[in-house]
Amino acid sequence: MLGFLVHRLATMIPLLLGITFISFLVVALAPGDFFDSLAMNPAISPQAIEAMKADFGYGEPLLVRYAKWLWQAVQGDLGVSLSHRVSVLTLIAQRAENTLILSLSAALFTWTLAIPLGVLIAVRRGKLSDRIFSILGFLGMSIPNFFLAFLLMRWALHTGWFPVGGTFSLDYEQLSTLGKLADRLHHLVLPTIVLGTAGMGSLMRLMRSAVIELERSDFARTARAKGLSEFRVLFVHVMRNALNPFVTLAGYELGALLGGAALVENVMNLQGLGSLMLGAVLSLDIYLVMGSVLISSLLLLFGNLLADLLLVMVDPRIDFQRLEDS
């Protein structure tokens, strides 16, 4: 296990270098920069703008600027945001909580519904319930997140049952601890449904296919021949093997959820990393963009690493040597 961890952590280094360098290059070479918008403000003199450029190292070559940012990032300093004038780490920490809560609630919503529904329609394949849930699954995969968000916001505005956008109410700070929890959960309902619906359809279909395939496998027939009940065959033998691919998929789902959360946050006016990243890209706030890219990349890479570790724990046929060779 130690050798596997060392190998995986070592492979992350060139990946992160490539991701950050390309991102830095794209933002730095984009037409204009953050200071172009400041130049349009008559209250800011050209001399002040030039002084700010010098403070942020804009007069240095691109590779030198990237090397300096990388050296600071290795030491835990992601720089200062050009637009907010505060530490990038401080900004990300303030917004990361909301994004992680939304992503985890969407993952919980998706997996707790998709897995049992996938088993249900596999057992009842060809029947009415299979057709109904299959159609709903295809609809969930087909409807774009932003369109579903608009539909639910219109419905919430009409009924008044749920808040239309926002992370918490205006009187949030005056609420009790239980009231704050209830308020956050109330605001989470619609974003969770929007973010979780798209993944639920695909996971449900994958679970259906896996259960149908494994029900006909040799080990399932052997278990039935030994006199085990169909319930035990399905939920002890078939389900354990059917879940193995989903453990690996969970690592990739983390990155997908974070990407989907960014879109949902902007549409539904949620104060998370997505809206922060969009503002940074639009204003060409290069250090805030780089900090967001680095944090997102680390979450995705460590999510995949965790998924591989869990796969070894749940599947005795897979060992660390096989994962390392792959």
Digit-coded pLDDT (tens) for 175-234: 888 888 888 888 888 888 888 887 787 788 888 887 887 777 777 778 778 777 777 777
Residue type for position 22: I
pLDDT of residue 257: 62
Residue 164 near residue 157, CB atoms below 8 Å: yes
pLDDT of residue 54: 73
What is the pLDDT confidence band of residue 116, given thresholds at 50, 70 and 90?
confident
CA distance 125 to 204: 13
Q: Which of 178, 187, 194, 305 is nearest to 250 (CA)?
A: 305
pLDDT of 52 strictly over 80: no
Residue 270, phi-psi category: left (phi > 0), alpha (psi -120 to 50), beta (remainder)? beta
Q: Which of 307, 281, 269, 305 is nearest to 33 (CA)?
A: 281
pLDDT of 277 strictly over 70: yes
CA distance 276 to 282: 10
For 306, residues 6+ apart whose C-beta sits below 8 A from its C-beta are 251
- Phi/psi for 39 (5° steps) reads -65, -20
CA distance 106 to 193: 7
CA distance 250 to 268: 25
Looking at residue 234, the DSSP 8-state letter turns out to be: I
pLDDT of residue 89: 87
pLDDT of residue 321: 58
Residue 276 near residue 292, CB atoms below 8 Å: yes
pLDDT of 316 strictly over 70: no
pLDDT of 236 strictly over 80: no
CATH topology of domain 92-325: MetI-like fold (1.10.3720)
What is the pLDDT confidence band of residue 251, given thresholds at 50, 70 and 90?
low
Residue 297 near residue 16, CB atoms below 8 Å: yes
Q: Which of 166, 188, 176 is nearest to 107 (CA)?
A: 188
| Mean of per-residue pLDDT scores for the chain | 78
Q: How many CB atoms lie within 10 A of CB 10?
A: 9
H-run or E-run covering 50: helix 46-55
pLDDT of 51 strictly over 60: yes
Residue 34 near residue 40, CB atoms below 8 Å: no
Mean pLDDT over 38-63 rounds to 72
Instruction: Please report, for the chain, the start and end positions of each structural domain, with discontinuous segments joined by +.
Output: 15-74, 92-325
Helix then strand count (H, E) for the chain reads: 15, 0
- Phi/psi for 82 (5° steps) reads -70, -40
pLDDT of residue 315: 60
The three-class DSSP label of residue 80 is strand
pLDDT of 46 strictly over 60: yes
- Phi/psi for 80 (5° steps) reads -115, 135
Q: What is the pTM of this model?
A: 0.73
Residue 80 forms beta bridges with which residues?
87
